Amino acid sequence: MRVSYKWLQEFVEIDIAPQELADRLTLAGVTVEGVTELGSGVSNVLTGRIESISPHPNADKLVVTSVNTGGVQRQIVTAATNVREGDVIPVAVEGARLASGLVIKKAKLRGVESRGMMCSGQELGIDPKTMVAEQANGIMILPPGTPLGKEAKEILGLDDHILELDLTPNRGDCLSMIGVAREVAALLGRPLRIPQPSFKELAESIEGQARVDIDATDLCGRFCARLIKNVRMGPSPLWMQQRLRNAGIRPISNIVDVTNYVMLELGQPMHAYDYNLLADGRIIVRRARDEEKMLSLDGCERSLTPDMLAITDSDGPVGIAGVMGGLTTEVTAKTTSVLLEAAFFNPISIRKTSKVLGLRSEASQRFEKGIDIGGAARATNRAAQLIAEMEAGDAVSGVIDVFPEPPQAKIVSFRPARAAYILGVEVPKEEAAEILTALQFKVRDSGADLLVTVPTHRVDVSLEVDLIEEIARMHGFDQVPGTLPFGQSTQGKQTREQSLIAGIRNRLAGDGLYELMTYSFTHPRVLDQMNLPGESPLRETVKLQNPLSEEHSVMRTMMLPGLLDALARNFSRRVQNGAVFELGRVFYPQGEGSLPEERQVLAAAAMGRTPAGWNAPAWELDFYYLKGVLENLFDYLRTEPVSFKPELENPSFHPGRSAWLEVAGARLGVLGELHPDVLEQFELPDRVVAFELDLDRLLAVSGRPPVYATLPRFPAVERDIAVLIKQGTPAVQVVDAIRSAGGDLLRSVSLFDVYRGGQVSQGYQSMAFSLRFYAEDRTLTDTEVAEITSAIAQALAQQFGAELRA
Amino acid sequence: MEEKLKRLNEDVRKALAEAHTMDELNEIRVRILGKKGELTQILRGMGGLSSEERPRIGQVANEVRNTIEGELTARTAGLKELLKEQKLREEGIDITLPGTPVPRGRKHPLTIVREEIQDIFLGLGFSIAEGPEIETDYYNFEALNLPKDHPARDMQDTFFISPETLLRTHTSPVQVRTMEKTAPELPVKIIVPGKVYRRDDDATHSPMFNQVEGLAVDRRITFSDLKGTLDLFARLMFGMKTKTRFRPSFFPFTEPSAEVDISCVICGGDGCRVCSHTGWLEILGSGMVHPRVLEVSGYNSEEVTGFAFGMGVERITMLKYGIDDMRLLFDNDLRFLQQF
Ligand SMILES: [Zn+2]
């Protein structure tokens, strides 16, 4: 809603500047998005009348005119084609400035002196959308009686400020000048001046000439109609056009402009039907029939449904209620009688209809938010008055007012103590009463409390707490002090899972991974890219009914594709090294009637290598890197023991380079190099490694309490051994064999080297282990250690045919 | 003899001054004080002295011996120190060479900011609650005083899974779920971080974004408490000089409702491009829990009141780091993520 500061002053006296008014309104909940100064920068543009037009001696496309700007005759050369002798037009005289910043100087055009320039609306800062085509493209022609030599800015109502409102959906009552004026009056403590329509009616009565029936009373709560005869169609007066334009509405004709003007002033949308084209002068408000057709005002054929409310005459639809009128009964230059409509339509129905038809108008926006059901008759009278004043027609006596069930007045009791209980600050009963009265609530004092009657324009108010809000916002939110809640104190604490998850993030970031945030929805194609077979359960996705695009159309069942996409995007931007992780949810459908299962997942992926240093070589971000990351993580989380087992059948992973993780007898997830087909699908480099774990399960096996063991009192003995062993022997089996042969005194085994080639014969590898021995009651002798070591060597020889290297 | 001793003392002094290595010093020690050393030799000759002279010369000899030993020790210590200093000098490294590369990683800026928000409210006695991202229409809308066909539903363009299931458009459903679980016990003091979804996609909107919701329900929770709590939050989050401004607004699930602005973090309130020259930045929506929401959640709204608020983590992150395009937060470009 665009609110004219000057027009507003017709209803309430305002002695603060537009910007200050805007701030006051904003802090009272009527948000003003911005204040625009109209005709900003325009000066010295005067009204002038073209007295004569003669050809230019040297140019075919130019004419030489003589313009009277209030006693001063100016010779002006122009290329304009839409001006005639006698037209009143805006003239930028020497020194004038236009909206674009252009300054007008005396000039010679093709040898003929020109003392000024005729202006278009746009040059004065008028939005071309609010002008009819011939005016938008040419010189602005003012009405013949316009006084000469006056500032055109003033004559055109451009010496004004517009307050651009950004209203919350509950405040439909502020979609009118009166509504905003009511707020301003209450804020400034000034009386509100509401126009009381008075006009002469013709002797003849509307009765017998027009008739209105409401069939669908659930969708139409009230319908008022007035009949205007002796209509003289023409343009509306300049002042009305300006106000419409300033509000963003294009003037059309006197009758149509009046309906729009009343809508802006009172918030009641109106429609004018050509009475003579209305079959039998009858209006029936009913649900449309299925596939009933109507030509709307914009010339389109509309197909209606029974969910829509139609305004019909005896022949059929003449309008879609509250959304758009019909072409057959349109008011035209030939119209001589009109029937004016001011009705109340069901907000939900209007909202749905305008959505289905894709038609949002000034009228539908107001109906959707709920207009004042009590204001319809007044609107028809105000329209009739305006029509009479501009001598555009005569009102027939009487109003048809079909109002099947006038709503009961809403009476809400207001307890000042309750307001204090909610607000934390006392607003005296008297002040509360004043505030509500200023907002046109009727207030009756009933001792401790107030009995408040809600005016019909405040459709958003029905509970005591709504009144409390009115009091609070007018009293001023800034008048409420800030306190902290007291009462029972509570402990702010994360749950076990929440702190573990926070720890996981810190741990992974500390180990060289960057956290990503990818969308939870994805393209179904990614499941093909992951090489999943047709029958994979991961292909059963939760689908969005109305996705933004196929790209974001299903909820993910795996997290890895998002990470791989991100890596690929980085790779294509020549960021070729990096490790990333993400914690989030995946979604599994659970059948009709239940919400999908949401499981938390932890995934990571890495490509390339670490940066090389001058003193340390780069290393590959490979399988063993992510395995190390996981081992660190499991250690940090104190999980149950996790074992890595060969993952041979996973179509997304390299069959020889992937592992599944088992913990407490269940599958925790998968770690491995991606399958070359997957890498190709994602346009990733040759080797990318990744893991995806069931985070819920990981958390469940995490957090074993540490068990303290006394520190050894006797020194440990360390021995390194190297064994030659067949390639392909899993290291974990060798370690297990060492452990079991080493007995209790062998406290730790760590593999520190694997070597192939050189002196190691083909098909074999050398594995070097560091062994650590100690006893709790003595220092071990070399002999004891040598015995154990040889037992280990023997076991390895037996089990693997391995040979101890010297 | 006395003469000999004095000369020896002089010789030693000279020799010490010329010695530059530990070996040389040791050599002097042996040469003078050793079993066959010069001083020892001289002292052996004391037998030939008269009994009157012997004590006097003996005393001189002792003095000379003490002096030599003292000088030798001092010289040894000095040289040791000198050699140590020399060694340390020689061992100098180029400390401007970079350190050994240790892999680096970082948390996502949205995580960093969300955790910061959480920490503030944990400190104020709130706990963290979570809920499903795919919600029923009931919890996402109806229980929050947004019946079907309510025009305010248009404020949150929704992704639907089925007519009754949807991607939650805000974290507010967790308010109702938590209250239902807790009622009639009091108090409820939670914050709810989480992903939410709306059908918008441009430089200032993402179809998925992160919210942190807050809820405090108890007897006698007031609008004044809401103001105090959020004012404190703003100061802890954006600096103690930050001012807040509460503007009346509308949310179906709160009444009264307030939009909360903070004084611009860029210009401090003087007006700049970021705050559209108003000096204020809108950062969260809030209000007193609507009595209908309390009632459907199992509380008697006459006795129990509460406040609720919600903020967008993206917005706060962008303000905090001066990020001008929300899409960067979900683009996952490592060059971006390395900066936080
Ligand atoms: Zn600023």
Say how far apart CA A67 and CA A114 lie, in whole Å: 11
Q: Give me the count of residues in chain A.
A: 806
User: Chain B 216-275, CB below 8 Å of chain A: which residues?
Assistant: 216, 218-225, 227-229, 231-232, 245-250, 255-258
Say how far apart CA A221 and CA A375 lie, in whole Å: 12
Among B189, B197, B120, which residue's Cα sits nearest to residue B166? B197
What number of other Cβ atoms are within 10 A of residue B57's Cβ? 20
What dihedral angle (degrees, nearest 10) is formed by the CA atoms of B80, B83, B88, B89? 150
- Whether B265 contacts B271, CB under 8 Å: no
- Burial of A162 by CB count in 10 Å (0-12 exposed, 13-18 middle, 19+ buried)? buried
Give A734 to chain B, closest Cα distance, Å.
31
Q: How far apart are the first and last CA of chain A?
A: 92
Q: How large is the average pLDDT for residues A788-803?
A: 93
| pLDDT at A751 exceeding the cut of 90 | yes
Q: What are the tokens at A343? A: 């009705």
Q: Do A352 and B133 touch (CB under 8 A)?
A: no
Helix axes A429-438, A177-188, angle to 10 degrees: 150
Among A586, A600, A594, which residue's Cα sits nearest to residue A540? A586
Nearest to B255 among A352, A466, A481 (CB): A466
Among A551, A577, A576, A573, which residue's Cα sits nearest to residue A562? A551
DSSP codes of every residue in A247-287: TT-----HHHHHHHHHHHHHS--EEEEEGGGSGGGEEEEEE
Q: Report which secondary-structure segment, H or E, holds B38.
A: helix B38-44
A797 Cβ contact list (under 8 Å, min separation 6): A803, A804
Q: How large is the average pLDDT for residues B92-102?
A: 92
Q: What is the pLDDT of residues A697-706, one digit of tens each?
A: 999 999 889 9
On the CB side of A107, CA atoms within 13 Å amount to: 14
pLDDT at B54: 82
Chain A hits for B134, Cβ within 8 Å: 542, 555, 587, 595-596, 598
- The sheet with strand A410-414 has its strands ordered as A410-414, A449-454, A442-446
Q: What is the pLDDT of residues A430-472, one digit of tens each?
A: 999 999 999 999 999 998 899 999 999 999 999 999 999 999 9
pLDDT at A806: 62
Confidence of residue B202 (pLDDT cuts 50, 70, 90): confident
Say how far apart CA A494 and CA A168 lie, in whole Å: 36
Mutate to test the interface with B, among A348, A426, A465 (most CBs of B within 10 A): A465
Rg (CA), chain B: 42
Chain A residue nearest residue B290, CA to CA:
A465
| Collapsed DSSP state (helix, strand, coil) of residue A85 | coil
* Residue B103 or residue B116, greater confidence: B116
Q: What is the pLDDT of residues A675-716, one digit of tens each?
A: 999 999 999 999 999 999 999 999 999 988 998 988 889 999
| Collapsed DSSP state (helix, strand, coil) of residue A449 | strand
Confidence of residue A483 (pLDDT cuts 50, 70, 90): very high
Say how far apart CA A684 and CA A353 lie, in whole Å: 49
- The sheet with strand B208-219 has its strands ordered as B127-128, B188-197, B208-219, B304-312, B280-289, B254-263, B244-251
| Collapsed DSSP state (helix, strand, coil) of residue A542 | coil
Among B42, B47, B20, B46, which residue's Cα sits nearest to residue B31? B42
Chain B hits for A481, Cβ within 8 Å: 224, 227-228
Nearest to A511 among B105, B107, B161 (CB): B105
Looking at residue A151, what DSSP letter applies?
A: B
Q: How large is the average pLDDT for residues B291-296?
A: 97
- Whether A185 contacts A268, CB under 8 Å: no
Q: Do A520 and B155 touch (CB under 8 A)?
A: no
Confidence of residue A288 (pLDDT cuts 50, 70, 90): very high
Q: What is the pLDDT of residues A584-642, one digit of tens each?
A: 999 999 988 899 999 999 999 999 999 999 999 999 999 999 999 999 999 999 999 99
- Whether A272 contacts A331, CB under 8 Å: yes
| pLDDT at A647 exceeding the cut of 70 | yes
Residue ranges of alpha helices (H) inside A525-593 are: 525-529, 560-572
What number of other Cβ atoms are within 10 A of residue B137's Cβ? 18
- Whether A645 contacts A729, CB under 8 Å: no
- Whether B139 contacts B177, CB under 8 Å: yes
Distance of CA A704 to the CA centre of its chain: 46
Give A700 to chain B, closest Cα distance, Å.
17
Say how far apart CA A324 and CA A358 lie, in whole Å: 11
Q: What is the pLDDT of residues B128-175, one digit of tens each?
A: 999 999 999 999 999 999 988 777 777 678 999 999 999 999 999 999
Distance of CA A209 to the CA centre of its chain: 49
Q: How large is the average pLDDT for residues A201-207?
A: 94
Say how far apart CA A157 and CA A47 lie, in whole Å: 13
Q: Percent of chain B at pLDDT above 90?
A: 66
What dihedral angle (degrees, nearest 10) is formed by the CA atoms of A539, A544, A548, A549? 30
- Burial of A757 by CB count in 10 Å (0-12 exposed, 13-18 middle, 19+ buried)? exposed
Handedness of CA A732, A735, A741, A744 (dihedral sign): negative
Give A611 to chain B, closest Cα distance, Å.
7
Q: What is the pLDDT of residues B317-338, one digit of tens each?
A: 999 999 989 999 999 999 999 9
Q: Does B279 touch chain A (CB under 8 A)?
A: no
- Whether A245 contacts A7, CB under 8 Å: no
pLDDT at A397: 96
Q: Give me the count of residues in chain B.
A: 340
Token pair 């802006």: residue: A264
User: Chain B 146-205, CB below 8 Å of chain A: which residues?
Assistant: 149, 151-152, 154-155, 159-162, 165, 167, 186-187, 189, 195, 197, 199, 201
Say how far apart CA A601 and CA A696 lie, in whole Å: 7
Query: Across all residues in chain B, what is the average pLDDT?
Result: 92
Confidence of residue B29 (pLDDT cuts 50, 70, 90): confident
Give B301 to chain A, closest Cα distance, Å.
11
Q: How large is the average pLDDT for residues A372-385?
A: 96
Per-residue b/e over A608-641, b at no fewer than 16 CB within 10 Å?
bbbeeeeeeeeeebbbebbbebbeebbebbebee
Give A580 to chain B, closest Cα distance, Å.
8
Chain A hits for B100, Cβ within 8 Å: 613, 615-616
pLDDT at A670: 98
Among A146, A207, A183, A139, which residue's Cα sits nearest to residue A28? A183
Handedness of CA A308, A312, A314, A316 (dihedral sign): negative
The count of CB pairs under 8 A between chains A and B is 248
pLDDT at A709: 86
Query: Across all residues in chain A, what is the average pLDDT?
Result: 94
| pLDDT at B282 exceeding the cut of 80 | yes
What number of other Cβ atoms are within 10 A of residue B100's Cβ? 9
| pLDDT at A768 exceeding the cut of 80 | yes
Say how far apart CA A608 and CA A590 lie, in whole Å: 39
pLDDT at B43: 78
pLDDT at A349: 93
Chain A hits for B288, Cβ within 8 Å: 422, 465
| Collapsed DSSP state (helix, strand, coil) of residue B164 | coil
Q: How large is the average pLDDT for residues A372-383?
A: 96
Confidence of residue B57 (pLDDT cuts 50, 70, 90): confident
| pLDDT at A387 exceeding the cut of 90 | yes
Per-residue b/e over A776-797, b at no fewer than 16 CB within 10 Å?
eeeebeeeebeebbeebbebbe
Could you tell me how many helices (H) and strands (E) chain B has, helices first? 12, 10
Q: Ligand 1 centroid vs B324 CA: distance in angstroms?
A: 14
Nearest to A27 among B102, B159, B247 (CB): B247
DSSP codes of every residue in B193-242: EEEEE-S--BTTB-SEEEEEEEEEEEET--HHHHHHHHHHHHHHHH-TT-
A523 Cβ contact list (under 8 Å, min separation 6): A550, A551, A552, A553, A554
Q: Do A423 and B223 touch (CB under 8 A)?
A: yes
Give A331 to chain B, closest Cα distance, Å.
32
Say how far apart CA B14 and CA B300 lie, in whole Å: 104
pTM: 0.88
Of the listed ranges A48-52, A123-127, A510-514, B226-230, the one predicted with least confidence:
A123-127
pLDDT at A322: 94
Q: Do A610 and B167 touch (CB under 8 A)?
A: no
Q: Do B107 and A566 touch (CB under 8 A)?
A: no
Q: Do B224 and A483 touch (CB under 8 A)?
A: yes
Confidence of residue A13 (pLDDT cuts 50, 70, 90): very high
Instruction: Tell me whether strands A666-674 and A653-663 are parallel, antiparallel or unpaired.
Output: antiparallel
| pLDDT at B46 exceeding the cut of 80 | no
